[in-house]
């Protein structure tokens, strides 16, 4: 069931992030024009892999905060996103305020997946009853949210989460979606794009205007429909060329090798790679069975072997602050 859910969420994520309009290079007098990657549109060097190493689930627990702060502080990653409904949200925001220039966005959260470690809405629960399960918390799984919650309720809640950070004195640098929930229906996708544009905070929207990319995902079972393509076609903020996550493994070495293979397989362009770092404590072991993977992921990007790999591969790194700066300069021309 978990594997099926992951596949469903991945599909919804990819489906939501399509657009019909494609930018091309200047007319070269040939019938075939070369489409620029999203990275190239922002001014990055042609043919280069540009990565955002992005830590999800800040604010979820003290262990998540500790791990993410450590690797952000040391420059091992470029970006993180925080969960407003979670118990250590304010702690992480306070750290971000003390470290201006750090790339911290909103990990918009509409599910509460763990068995006993759970959270509910930031907004008044009476205004978003469809988001609340019989235990008074968010639903465990994405399909439950889609089944019960209206787009209007979703909009109320995600605005409340963004406003909670702003009220604490932090302007989020970007926004994404916990467990892919905001890609759970065309109506949710419309809300996600609308809110991103109104706040002028970029969302992790993926460009699938390249038909080869669309077909690649369709061939492996992702039905990218005309409806969701139409919903995303007018999105006005910067997009990603690709979006993926750190692969799992049975040992740290296997995780690292799988990660290397993932990066080597990427096409040129702008790719966000997400992961969920945590320090190791007895507490985190009571929260999630994935604690070991999270601990390995916290170790990964400070590993000298990984750093050498990035150098050897000629990887360029960026974050959402840089992306928006570049986007605004290009838009002003």
Q: Summarize pLDDT for 188-220 with one digit per residue, the tens.
A: 888 999 999 999 999 998 886 766 666 665 565
Q: Rounded mean pLDDT of the chain?
A: 88
Domain boundaries, the chain: 52-202+237-332
Asked if 13 and 242 touch (Cβ cutoff 8 Å), the reply is no
Element holding 177 (H helix, E strand): strand 175-177
The set of long-range contacts for 291-294, using a CB threshold of 8 Å and a minimum separation of 24, is 293/248, 293/249, 293/255, 294/64, 294/67
Percent of the chain with pLDDT over 70: 84
pLDDT digits (tens, 9 = 90+) for 65-108: 999 999 999 999 999 999 999 999 999 999 999 998 999 999 99
Residue 133 near residue 116, CB atoms below 8 Å: no
User: What number of CA atoms fall less than 13 Å from residue 328's CA on the CB side?
Assistant: 9
Which CATH architecture does the domain made up of 52-202+237-332 adopt?
Alpha-Beta Barrel (3.20)
Structure tokens at 281: 């404590």
- Give the pLDDT band (50/70/90) at residue 185: confident
In this structure, the number of other CB atoms found within 10 A of the CB of residue 134 comes to 6
What's phi and psi for 35, nearest 5 deg? -80, 130
pLDDT of residue 16: 40
**Higher pLDDT, residue 25 or 264:** 264
pLDDT in tens, 142-184: 999 999 999 999 999 999 999 999 999 999 999 999 998 988 8
> For 138, phi and psi rounded to 5 degrees?
-65, 155
């Amino acid at each position: 069931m978990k594997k099926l859910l992951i596949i469903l969420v991945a599909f919804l994520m990819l489906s939501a992030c399509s657009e019909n309009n494609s930018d091309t290079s200047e007319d070269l007098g040939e019938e075939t024009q070369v489409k620029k990657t999203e990275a190239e549109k922002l001014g990055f060097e042609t043919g280069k892999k540009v990565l955002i190493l992005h830590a999800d689930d800040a604010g979820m627990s003290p262990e998540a905060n500790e791990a993410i702060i450590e690797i952000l502080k040391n420059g091992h990653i470029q970006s993180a996103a925080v969960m407003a409904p979670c118990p250590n949200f304010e702690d992480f925001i306070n750290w971000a305020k003390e470290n201006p220039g750090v790339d911290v966005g909103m990990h918009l959260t509409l599910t509460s997946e763990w068995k006993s470690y759970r959270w509910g809405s930031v907004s008044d629960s009476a205004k978003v009853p469809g988001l609340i399960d019989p235990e008074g918390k968010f639903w465990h799984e994405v399909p439950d949210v889609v089944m019960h919650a209206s787009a209007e309720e979703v909009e109320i809640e995600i605005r409340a989460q963004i406003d909670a950070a702003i009220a604490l004195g932090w302007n989020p640098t970007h926004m994404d979606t916990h467990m892919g929930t905001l890609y759970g229906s065309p109506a949710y996708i419309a809300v996600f794009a609308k809110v991103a544009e109104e706040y002028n905070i970029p969302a992790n929207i993926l460009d699938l205007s390249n038909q080869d990319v669309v077909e690649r995902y369709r061939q492996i079972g992702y039905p990218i429909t005309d409806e969701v393509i139409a919903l995303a076609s007018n999105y006005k903020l910067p997009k990603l060329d690709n979006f993926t996550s750190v692969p799992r493994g049975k040992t740290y070495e296997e995780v690292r090798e799988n990660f290397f293979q993932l990066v080597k397989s990427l096409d040129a362009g702008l790719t966000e790679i997400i992961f969920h770092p945590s320090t190791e404590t007895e507490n985190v072991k009571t929260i999630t069975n994935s604690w070991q993977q999270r601990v390995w992921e916290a170790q990964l990007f400070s590993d000298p072997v990984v750093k050498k790999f990035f150098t050897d591969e000629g990887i360029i790194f960026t974050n959402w602050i840089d992306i928006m700066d570049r986007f605004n300069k290009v838009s002003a021309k």
